[in-house]
């Protein structure tokens, strides 16, 4: 190996090696140049895969574009106002709010409860924690398909169990009834995504010193008082961050709703992402679909700004 290296070195002029060494020395000794060298590839990739498509989509939303017509017709910002005034968009937006905030509320309650449960020390605690986190590793597509099968009114195991224990007298088409479809999709989706809240909360719980609870016990605090005065103030920051992230992600959720209901029955579960999909790929109005996506982005950006101004989770993180 050394013989080969010596031969390669001999083929390269010594001046080239010296210049390369000087160049690398200047780069690694200068913090600004080193920072630029490290950040440039990541920033270039981010611009390529995120910023440019976003700018292109906003530009597309200002035109009347159809897959059946290669000519782009200028409509201007008035297109976005027309979309907002549309009853179909308003109904889909309302369903998105119900699905997003309802799912997040369910995930926070289930996720925090599960974290408190598996944080206890007992025999097999490590295995219990691994099993509790398993749903987050399962693809949403698989969960949607299995959930659809289990909830089937004719052969689904959920109806079979509920009838056997006497809760139901007849099978119920949970995904086929307007009264139950949205709630069912929320519960199935939250079974997977509540584990994200569990992950964050469990990590924070394990960083709380045990002597805090010992001191509370010496003061005569019961289990509820320990949770209220010791645990909750220290996991509040995690809950706030998890609520923000889960709201953004659930509002954009497409796959599990589309797999389980296709937006039905009727339009009961047609949220903004499904509405944009239908406009783009069923009605072939790409400009309007881009406008819907742009409005969804604006709403989520405004929601994030208001959330950080009101909840101030970053202050909670610094305090914690």
Of 187-201, 231-245, 297-311, minimum mean pLDDT range: 297-311
pTM of the model: 0.82
Q: Are residues 28 and 90 in the same domain?
A: no
Q: Is residue 40 part of a domain?
A: yes
CB of 84 within 8 A of CB of 298? no
In degrees, rounded to 5, the angle at the alpha carbon of residue 319 between the alpha carbons of residues 315 and 320 is: 115
Backbone φ and ψ of 113, nearest 5°: -60, -45
Q: Are residues 174 and 90 in the same domain?
A: yes
Q: Which domain holds residue 160?
A: 73-311
Please, which residues have CB within 8 angstroms of residue 89's CB and are 6 or more apart in sequence?
83, 272, 275, 292, 295
Q: What is the mean pLDDT of residues 164-188?
A: 92
Q: Is residue 316 part of a domain?
A: no
- Supply the pLDDT for residue 11: 58
Q: Are residues 143 and 282 in the same domain?
A: yes
- Supply the pLDDT for residue 180: 92
Q: Is residue 58 part of a domain?
A: no
Q: What is the mean pLDDT of residues 72-85?
A: 89
- Supply the pLDDT for residue 146: 92
- 4: confidence class by pLDDT, cuts 50, 70, 90: low
Q: Is residue 47 part of a domain?
A: yes
Q: Are residues 38 and 116 in the same domain?
A: no
- Supply the pLDDT for residue 154: 87
- What's the pLDDT tens digit per position in 8-64? 555 556 666 667 666 766 666 667 777 777 888 889 999 999 889 889 988 999 998
* Structure tokens belonging to residue 26: 């200047």
> Which long-range CB contacts under 8 A does 181-184 form with residues at least 24 apart?
181/261, 181/264, 181/265, 181/268, 181/269, 182/95, 182/98, 182/99, 182/102, 182/268, 182/269, 183/102, 184/151, 184/260
Q: Are residues 197 and 257 in the same domain?
A: yes
Residue 206: strand, helix, or coil: coil
- What's the pLDDT tens digit per position in 66-78? 877 788 889 888 8
Q: Are residues 36 and 176 in the same domain?
A: no
Q: Is residue 205 part of a domain?
A: yes
Q: Is residue 302 part of a domain?
A: yes
Look up the CATH number of the domain holding residue 84: 1.10.3720.10
Nearest CA-CA partner of 266 in 91, 79, 141: 91
Q: Is residue 320 predicted with pLDDT exceeding 60?
A: no
Q: Are residues 35 and 143 in the same domain?
A: no
Q: Are residues 35 and 90 in the same domain?
A: no
Q: Is residue 192 part of a domain?
A: yes
Residues 242 and 260: their CA atoms lie apart, in Å, by 25
Residues 121 and 113: their CA atoms lie apart, in Å, by 15
- Please spell the DSSP secondary structure of 91-122, one letter per residue: HHHHHHHHHHHHHHHHHHHHHHHHHHHHTS--
Q: Is residue 1 predicted with pLDDT exceeding 60?
A: no
Q: Is residue 167 part of a domain?
A: yes
Q: How many domains, the chain?
A: 2
* Neighbour-count burial of 306, counting CB atoms closer than 10 A to its CB (0-12 exposed, 13-18 middle, 19+ buried): exposed
Q: Is residue 297 predicted with pLDDT exceeding 80?
A: yes
- Supply the pLDDT for residue 309: 79
Q: What is the mean pLDDT of residues 149-174?
A: 90
- Supply the pLDDT for residue 96: 94
- Supply the pLDDT for residue 314: 58
Q: Are residues 9 and 144 in the same domain?
A: no
Q: What is the mean pLDDT of residues 183-192?
A: 90
Q: Are residues 243 and 289 in the same domain?
A: yes
Q: Are residues 83 and 150 in the same domain?
A: yes
Q: Is residue 319 predicted with pLDDT exceeding 50?
A: no
* Structure tokens belonging to residue 280: 């783009």
- Supply the pLDDT for residue 119: 86
Q: Are residues 48 and 79 in the same domain?
A: no
Backbone φ and ψ of 69, nearest 5°: -140, 115
- Supply the pLDDT for residue 3: 54
- Give the chain's mean pLDDT: 85
Residues 301 and 229: their CA atoms lie apart, in Å, by 34
Which is more confident, 316 or 170? Answer: 170
- Supply the pLDDT for residue 159: 92
Of 74-78, 129-133, 172-176, minimum mean pLDDT range: 129-133
């Amino acid at each position: 190996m050394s013989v080969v290296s010596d031969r390669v070195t001999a083929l390269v002029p010594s001046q080239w090696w010296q210049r390369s060494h000087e160049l690398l020395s200047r780069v690694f000794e200068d913090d600004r140049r080193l920072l630029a060298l490290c950040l440039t590839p990541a920033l270039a990739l981010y611009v390529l895969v995120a910023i440019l498509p976003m700018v292109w989509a906003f530009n597309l939303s200002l035109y009347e574009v159809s897959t059946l017509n290669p000519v782009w017709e200028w409509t201007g910002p008035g297109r976005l106002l027309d979309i907002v005034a549309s009853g179909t968009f308003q109904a889909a937006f309302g369903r998105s709010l119900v699905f997003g905030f309802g799912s997040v509320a369910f995930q926070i309650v289930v996720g925090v409860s599960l974290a408190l449960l598996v944080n206890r020390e007992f025999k097999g605690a490590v295995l219990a924690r691994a099993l509790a986190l398993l749903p987050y590793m399962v693809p949403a597509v698989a969960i949607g398909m299995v959930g659809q099968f289990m909830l089937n009114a004719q052969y689904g195991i959920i109806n079979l169990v509920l009838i056997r224990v006497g809760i139901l007298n007849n099978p119920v088409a949970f995904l086929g009834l307007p009264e139950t479809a949205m709630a069912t999709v929320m519960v199935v989706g939250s079974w997977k995504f509540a584990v994200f809240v569990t992950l964050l909360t469990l990590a924070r719980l394990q960083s709380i010193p045990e002597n805090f609870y010992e001191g509370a016990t010496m003061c005569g605090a019961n289990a509820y008082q320990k949770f209220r005065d010791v645990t909750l103030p220290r996991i509040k920051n995690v809950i706030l961050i998890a609520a923000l992230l889960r709201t953004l992600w659930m509002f954009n959720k497409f796959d599990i709703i589309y797999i389980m209901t296709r937006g039905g029955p009727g339009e009961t579960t047609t949220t903004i992402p499904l509405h944009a999909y239908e406009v783009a790929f069923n009605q072939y109005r790409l400009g309007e679909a881009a406008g819907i996506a742009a409005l969804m982005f604006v709403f989520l950006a405004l929601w994030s700004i208001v959330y950080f101004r009101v909840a101030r989770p970053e202050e909670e993180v610094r305090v914690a």
